[in-house]
Amino acid sequence: MHPTVHALRAEYRTDSAFVGTDRPRLSWKTATTAPDWTQRGAEIEWRRESDSTVARVDGRDSVLVAWPFEPLRPRERGQLRVRVDGSDDTTSAWSEPLEIRAGFLAETEWRADFIAVPEPAAGQPMLLRHEFEVREGLRAATLYASARGVYQIEFNGVAVDDERLKPGWTAYQHRLVHETTDVTELLRPGRCALGATLAGGWYTERYGFHGEAKPFYGEYPSFAAQLLLEYADGTSEVVATGEGAWWATAEGPITASGIYAGESYDARRASPGWSSPGFDDDGWSEARIDASRVSRPIARTAPPVRRVEELAVKDVIVTPSGRTVVDFGQNLVGHLRIRVSGREGDTVVLRHAEVLEHGELGTRPLRHAKATDSYTLAGARIETWEPAFTFHGFRYAEIQGWPGEFDPEDVTAVVVGSDLERTGWFTCSHEPLNQLHDNIVWGMRGNFLSIPTDCPQRDERLGWTGDIQVFAPTAAYLFDCDGFLASWLEDLALEQSQDGAVPFIVPDVLDSVRTPAAAWGDAATVVPSVLYERFADRAVLERQYPSMRAWADHIAAIAGPRRLWEGQFQFGDWLDPDAPSDEPGKAKTDPDIVASAYLHRSAALVARAARELGLDDDARRYDTLADEVRTAWVREYVTPAGRLVSDAPTAYALALMFDLVTDARLRDNLGERLAELVRRADHRIGTGFVGTPLIQDALVRTGHADTARRLLLQTECPSWLYPVTMGATTVWERWDSMLPDGTINPGEMTSFNHYAFGAIADWLHRTVAGLAPLEPGYRRIAIAPVPLAGLDRAATELETAHGRASVSWEVSDGRLLVRATVPPNTTAHVTLPGSDPLDVGSGEHTWTVDDPRST
């Protein structure tokens, strides 16, 4: 069979033809049944109208290949095709064409002003409208729009797309993004109207804790758009905010809107036809130009936020106090859609929470977030409504004020999040483990909403750097999050201080950059490294390298000549299960041990990045720094017998997994001590955010796979599976977010949807199932399953940048059967129990060896 080329894409996005850069990198996959197939080269054809150009790329590169043509010009469009020739001396047919459109504007082409209502109240939602003429012969209409706030646009009464919470959350003071949308089909010759609904969203939200939240960016939202109309005769026109008469009102049907508070909608205030031509806008005021400084918006490259799934009510509960609560059977992120009929003025109130506590809605963990939506009826026969500019984390919703008899079929949970493609799966014969993995997937899905958040429900929902630092490898397996995290990293670099400090959160609405913290700031070095390892995204590594280096230099300067980061504020091994509920940073592992270990890791990652980028002098410099920190760490914290002065599991896991201890005898002793600590704790987890992603690898690599197995399968609190036994459908923030008696943890900080402890999934994929990257983008794959007692089978699949890879194993009658799929244009290094390693090419493979657990 001749190879076929498919899955052609430009840069990150697959949902739109628009690209945000003038040199979009290209990726494609090849399907073939030929074994051991590799690509020898590829031809790339770029066609614009009657003109076409073909470029030749020699070698195996098929992932994020540099644009081989002249840079795209603003608004340029064309079609791209690829064909490949391979090691089997065959050449594929041309792929299906991929439409590519330049979605960016030249630096001088953005001319739209940001506008708002004349006298806005703080955070007040508003409507904006403008009428314009469209001539005959319209060939194309392209909309560029942005906001300091969140918005949706309609033309002649029809929404331009299905995206939510546009333009998303970036570090607004440094970087604003705009959408680019083809709206040709929404316009017709004659009089047309553009209508925009605008709310404050993240821009006007109040940030802070303990009742001291305050605005960070601004007190009112503003909106900007420019519509390019291109005609068949070669002429064009621009319709832009700030030019001509734009009308505004704060008297629309959305009466209040906030990320934390929720949204209120009064259908009696709706004005049918407000976004259509000819609407009587008497009572509206002319919009004013927002004169405050605004950075020029740039084209968005991250995937948009969308409705991604819907769930029906699973159960209706009448609480002990007589309240009606609906249960969707799944902790999720999004909102409700209701279908209701009643009298004019009837108001339905929807309160959201993740759990029930003693039968009632458990709202205490929300802290100051009201998480409440309300809908006031117009009195029509049937009315359907869902909020537009807020989201909640919830499994349960309390329904108040429902007119007439309540029917659960009239309420739907709408799951909202960044629209990421699912890429990774894991299953095994142990159903609680399968549920744990599902919980991790749902936790990521809910917390990857415009930025990687810590939690989606309380008065926080912030981009905590420590959480994504530990979770990034798992995230990169479960979903195609390269573009999502690459965009967030741009803001991380912009939010760094001049001396290289990295904030606790990005965007940094808490002004936390003044206080560096290990494992949190190290997201600057870890996340770009993960994106390179898992997606072969070298451009991100190159772009973020100055940020990576600045962070390493900053913490090295703090450490000084002793090469130890000591005596300063640290989060440490955050949420160690032995920490007091109101002091989550009081872990067993000394925070200085954690800090200096991460100094070593970041120095090593910068050295590795420098080598990849050809910066040999930098590579030697940071290798030297890493060696100096390692020597100091061992001298200060490791005894000659192989004990650590902080005798806790996380300390041993750091020593082993960060290669701080390289002496083979000492490593064996450290591994023995780690296993002993786990056994002494009756195989209950003893690590927090820092140690949890490392402990299982540390046990397996030092010969204690059975100890890792018992730790993994433990169901008593604290453990990975304890929340599963309590009915959890997402990963909890604390090991004991809910106590065994059904009481919510008494700590001030408790969430039931936090992905950090879900970092265990990366180990399930790489080690239990046995699929890991050996070269960037999985061009070379490691197949090395570790069968655990208590499991009869395990399997994982990953849609890599080259195609679908999979590994599965099952045991029967003392034999271990391993099956694997290696995608075309990749190879694999296979390590099976009791067998010599071997290398294989692409194709389907099967091996049978003795079950190592039966010998």
**Coil, helix or strand at residue 666:** helix
Residue range 436-492, pLDDT digits in tens: 999 999 999 999 999 999 999 999 999 999 999 999 999 999 999 999 999 999 999
Selection from 272, 226, 267, 221 nearest residue 248 by Cα: 221
Do both 126 and 219 map to the same domain? Answer: yes
What is the per-residue DSSP string for 51-108? EEEEEEEESS--SSBPP-SSPPPTT-EEEEEEEEEETTS-BPPPPPPEEEEE----TT
Q: How many residues does the chain have?
A: 855
Do both 564 and 684 map to the same domain? Answer: yes
Q: Is 749 part of a structural domain of the chain? A: no
Q: Is 589 part of a structural domain of the chain? A: yes
Confidence category of residue 576, pLDDT binned at 50, 70, 90: very high
Asked whether residue 14 carries a pLDDT value surpassing 90, the answer given is: no
- Mean pLDDT (the chain) is 96
Do both 72 and 137 map to the same domain? Answer: no
Q: Is 201 part of a structural domain of the chain? A: yes
Do both 458 and 545 map to the same domain? Answer: yes
Do both 45 and 136 map to the same domain? Answer: no
Do both 184 and 56 map to the same domain? Answer: no
Q: What is the CATH classification number for the domain harbouring 213?
A: 2.60.120.260
The one catalytic residue in 179, 628, 733, 810 is 733
- Residue 211: its pLDDT value, please? 84
Total domains in the chain come to: 4
Residue range 196-209, pLDDT digits in tens: 999 999 999 999 99
What is the torsional sign of CA 479, 483, 489, 494? negative
d(CA 493, CA 487): 10
- Residue 342: its pLDDT value, please? 97
Residues of the chain above pLDDT 70, percent = 99
**Entry pTM:** 0.98
Residue type, 625: L
Q: Is 670 part of a structural domain of the chain? A: yes
- Which range marks the domain in which residue 258 is found? 115-299
Do both 659 and 791 map to the same domain? Answer: no
Do both 97 and 121 map to the same domain? Answer: no
Query: Which of residues 299, 327, 355 is at a domain's end?
Result: 299
The one catalytic residue in 460, 490, 495, 810 is 460
Asked whether residue 294 carries a pLDDT value surpassing 90, the answer given is: no
- Residue 124: its pLDDT value, please? 81
Do both 651 and 694 map to the same domain? Answer: yes
Q: Is 548 part of a structural domain of the chain? A: yes
> What is the chain's Cα-based Rg?
28
Rounded to a whole number of angstroms, the distance between the first and last alpha carbons of the chain is: 43
Do both 141 and 187 map to the same domain? Answer: yes
Residue with token string 């002319």: 286
Confidence category of residue 515, pLDDT binned at 50, 70, 90: very high
Do both 91 and 209 map to the same domain? Answer: no
Please indicate whether residue 460 is annotated as part of the active site: yes
Q: Is 411 part of a structural domain of the chain? A: no
Do both 120 and 61 map to the same domain? Answer: no
